Amino acid sequence: MAVLSVAGVSSSTSADSSVRRLAGADAIIAAHGPALPQPDQQCGPFAAWAALHAVVTDPPSVCELALASGTRIWPHDTPSWRPPGAPLDRRGWDVLAVADAIEESGTDAAGLARGLTRVVPGVAVVPAAGPGDARGLLEALVELDRRVGVVANLRTGPVAPAAMRWDVGHFVVVWGTCGGRIALADSYVELGAPGLPAGSRLVEAGSLDVATAERGLLLLAAPDDSPAAESAVVAAGFSVGLWST
């Protein structure tokens, strides 16, 4: 259930080169690292913004995606929503709607999917509701060799770094596979592992399956590539559709 550490990797090149990347992953990673950390309570729009780089060259900003997705802000600092050591970042709080209650804050998957459809022409959203085989899906997408961005909506507990007690609903970017592990690009540099791009780490595929079992993944693709992406979703045991969590 815990993250498989990449401790012992001697260089960035050796760890990074072992990952089989999705087509478009290079563009995602190039945009993702310099943009860290995410603005607080905007993990969904942030992950979608990063993943969109696989498909389009100039995606809308994180704040634009948050506005289109109906993101609501709880206007108080809640440190437990961030991993230990991550700073508070209030970017966008002055323009986003305010939640009436703490449980109404943030962005859900349905809102994020609608927002992407509204403001990103030329990108199709294929939802993959869990439970399913994340490794099988990712390996199929690697073989497909189409530019697809993958956003995972999960519970952080099963995939949090070893010894870190952090269990919240969260969105991350998925960008490759490495044997029985999956490469995640998270929205905080504190969650990254040595030898991988900023904010990235490798997690056990089975742990990711547990983390997404009641949630799922959003695949972002060109419309012509969405039927092939949908076929990969079904073959990996996911349901094509959105989840309510």
Q: Structure pTM? A: 0.92
> pLDDT at position 160, please?
95
> pLDDT at position 123, please?
97
Residue 189 CA to residue 85 CA, distance in Å, equals: 10
> pLDDT at position 2, please?
29
Residue 78 CA to residue 76 CA, distance in Å, equals: 6
Nearest to 218 by CA among 126, 90, 92: 126
Which residues in the chain come in under a pLDDT of 50? 1-13
Residue 157 CA to residue 198 CA, distance in Å, equals: 20
Nearest to 152 by CA among 101, 212, 78, 66: 212
What are the backbone angles phi and psi of residue 116, rounded to the nearest 5°? -60, -40
Q: Which pair of structure tokens corresponds to residue 143?
A: 């073989």
The CATH number of domain 12-240, selected from 3.40.190.10, 3.90.25.10, 3.40.50.620, 3.90.70.10: 3.90.70.10
Q: Which pair of structure tokens corresponds to residue 197?
A: 């791009």
Cα angle 171, 148, 136; round to 5: 80
Q: Give the residue extent of every domain in the chain.
A: 12-240
